[in-house]
Homo-oligomer: A and B are copies of this chain.
Amino acid sequence: MAPMTATRRYPTTDIAPGRPPFAAGQTYREGTHVEARTGSTVRDTPTVLDLLARGRTLCTPPMREAVARLAAPMDTVAAYHFGWIDRDGRPAAGDGGKAVRPALALLSAEAVGADAQVGVPGGVSVELVHNFSLLHDDLMDGDETRRHRATAWTVFGPAQAVLVGDALATLGTEVLLDAAVTGGATPTDAARAVRLITTATRRLIDGQALDVSFEQRDVVTVEECLTMEGGKTGALLAASAAIGAVLAGADDRISDALQRYGHHLGLAFQAVDDLLGIWGATEVTGKPHWSDLQSRKKSLPVCAALAEGGAASRELAAQLADPTGRGEESEQQLAARAALIEQAGGRAWTQEEARRQYDTALAALGEVPMTDEVREHFVALAEFVVVRER
């Protein structure tokens, strides 16, 4: 297949050797970044922010309506989690996340020539399922902060986090079934969308289960790590990128290609996230310096370094297997560990992996016929996802 416009626009040549293509310190600024990376001199509107804003504008009202159906006090807990109210119940304009998934769902309807509106139940569904996983993951991982606010389980207790997560996952199916009644989708297409979200949800849970199990292990293979990240991050982005098209009646070939775009985009995102978890500056990631090293997380750079087998790799393995001083390493020790990972090739491999996954995502996009405008929007969202401030 001939390279598409979208693929060609990716600036493979303007990145200096040794500088990670998708790593820490690169920030996304309104209207300037995509332009800079694509070399375009025409497009200077903040396209990506528009796309994200549209996703939120169209999907938030039906999402609030769905959440309002929950029995008290779950409606309150969910509203807090989404940033609609503060912990005292007062209306708030808290950070509900970037809402990349709804934006993808709407684009995906447009990919097959339908109105963005057709993708709305899909956007609501993927965002509900995403937030189900955040509520449960924060509880399981003991995370106390999300989007600069106390996590729901710390405010309302673990039971509410379990319950509201359960409820959001269920609502994620309900809104798709409603799409066949009020949203304009045929019952068959709504059922296909349910299948899509159900499969993605189970893969998401599988990924989180693997992630939790990795905490008990000293060594995780690169393949296992990719399987975990494919589940935890790839599965729902895959569903997001296809669900609008499925609701609009797209055939399986189109749905599969859009899912591959989302899946590989998720893996690219995750590779960048793993690089940031080690080498990201605190002011960029909002996390402590070397945070993933401190927690001995088996992220991609670590797994790749452990697989290399040379002297630095073996020294790293020995350090990670040694329980002494776990969680109490000095800044200097963590810096030395980061250097070992880099010496064993873990950093360079992950940088290349991010590029490979990104390219594969755009290649999959190339299999779907769509207007240039919609394609550009998919590419812009992809760049936004992999080039991040945090």
Using CB atoms and an 8 Å cutoff, list the residues of chain A in contact with chain B: 69-74, 132, 136, 139-140, 158-160, 162-163, 165-167, 169-171, 173-174, 177, 180, 187-188, 190-191, 194-195, 198-199, 201-202, 205-210, 212-213, 231
List B contacts of A132 (CB < 8 A). 166
Residue contact A170 to B201, C-beta cutoff 8 Å: yes
Residue contact B191 to A74, C-beta cutoff 8 Å: no
List B contacts of A208 (CB < 8 A). 163
Nearest opposing residue in chain B for A177, CB measure:
B195
Bound Cα distance from A69 to B170, whole angstroms: 20
List B contacts of A198 (CB < 8 A). 170, 173-174, 177
List B contacts of A194 (CB < 8 A). 173, 177, 191, 194
Give min CB distance, A153 to chain B, whole Å. 11
21 A-B pairs with C-beta separation under 8 A:
A69-B202, A70-B206, A71-B210, A71-B231, A73-B213, A136-B162, A140-B162, A159-B212, A162-B162, A163-B205, A166-B166, A166-B201, A167-B205, A173-B173, A173-B198, A174-B198, A174-B199, A174-B202, A187-B188, A191-B194, A194-B194
Nearest opposing residue in chain B for A163, CB measure:
B209
Residue contact B202 to A171, C-beta cutoff 8 Å: yes
Residue contact B213 to A166, C-beta cutoff 8 Å: no
Give min CB distance, A175 to chain B, whole Å. 10
19 additional contacts, CB 8 Å, given A170-B198, A177-B198?
Answer: A71-B210, A71-B231, A72-B213, A74-B209, A136-B162, A136-B166, A140-B159, A163-B205, A163-B212, A167-B202, A167-B206, A169-B169, A173-B194, A174-B199, A174-B202, A187-B187, A187-B188, A190-B191, A191-B191
List B contacts of A199 (CB < 8 A). 174
Neighbour of A169 across the interface among B69, B71, B166, CB < 8 A:
B166
Give min CB distance, A295 to chain B, whole Å. 15
Interface of A is mostly: helix
List B contacts of A169 (CB < 8 A). 166, 169-170
Bound Cα distance from A171 to B194, whole angstroms: 12
Give min CB distance, A85 to chain B, whole Å. 17
Bound Cα distance from A118 to B9, whole angstroms: 54
Nearest opposing residue in chain B for A166, CB measure:
B205
Give min CB distance, A172 to chain B, whole Å. 9
Give min CB distance, A379 to chain B, whole Å. 32
Nearest opposing residue in chain B for A132, CB measure:
B166
List B contacts of A70 (CB < 8 A). 202, 206, 209
Bound Cα distance from A258 to B212, whole angstroms: 42
Give min CB distance, A329 to chain B, whole Å. 25
Bound Cα distance from A205 to B170, whole angstroms: 9
Bound Cα distance from A205 to B73, whole angstroms: 12
List B contacts of A140 (CB < 8 A). 158-159, 162-163
Give min CB distance, A122 to chain B, whole Å. 16
Bound Cα distance from A160 to B136, whole angstroms: 11
Bound Cα distance from A166 to B210, whole angstroms: 14
Nearest opposing residue in chain B for A213, CB measure:
B73
Nearest opposing residue in chain B for A133, CB measure:
B166
Nearest opposing residue in chain B for A174, CB measure:
B198
Bound Cα distance from A166 to B174, whole angstroms: 16
Interface centre among A166, A180, A231 (most CB of B within 10 A): A166
Give min CB distance, A169 to chain B, whole Å. 7
Bound Cα distance from A140 to B159, whole angstroms: 5
Bound Cα distance from A139 to B166, whole angstroms: 13
